[in-house]
Amino acid sequence: DHVRALGEMFSAEVPDMVPIRPTDAGKFRFVVGDASAEGFGTGTQYPDLTFEARDGLWLTDFAAGGSNLREAQNIVNHLLHDIRSGKHDGCEIWQGTDNSVWSHVWTKGMSTAKHLFNLVLDLRIEARRHEVYIHTVHISGDRMIATGIDGLYRGNYDAGVSLGYD
């Protein structure tokens, strides 16, 4: 798996030029994601405090998987969609999660769990292509509730960042 990952990351004939900092220091985002056995919610807050969110319910078969997979898949789906659409080019993202496994796997860059390893690889490749710098941090469950992301999949848009709070 590691050799395959290295092959994917370094497949170009010409080495990638990777700046050590985002090209625009004012381009930062805050992304928070949460998932449960039933559903998921993830949102991005921009510097002007506008907010974009995605939420939904898991298919029954996927919901039976572990919480680490659900949390990681939720966050990666959200980020990949936005990165591929060019919303975060040259940007720095601070991503909060109350799942310590995902924050450790992203920071470490690998996992023995194949599905988590592949999610990290996919996101790192897209982030590098679009010059997106992602910092994943662990936040407490109480902070997750305060962000308002905790209730998105239940249709609760009346808390935290959904109301424009920083």
| CB of 121 closer than 8 Å to CB of 127 | no
- Helix, strand, or coil (residue 141): helix
Mean pLDDT on 111-137 = 91
Can you state the percent helix, strand and coil of the chain, rounding each to 5? 45, 20, 35
pTM of the entire structure?
A: 0.85
Residue 106 is which amino acid?
A: W
Start-end of H helices in 10-66: 60-63
pLDDT digits (tens, 9 = 90+) for 33-83: 988 888 899 999 888 888 898 989 888 888 777 888 899 999 999 999 999
What secondary structure letter does DSSP report for 164? T
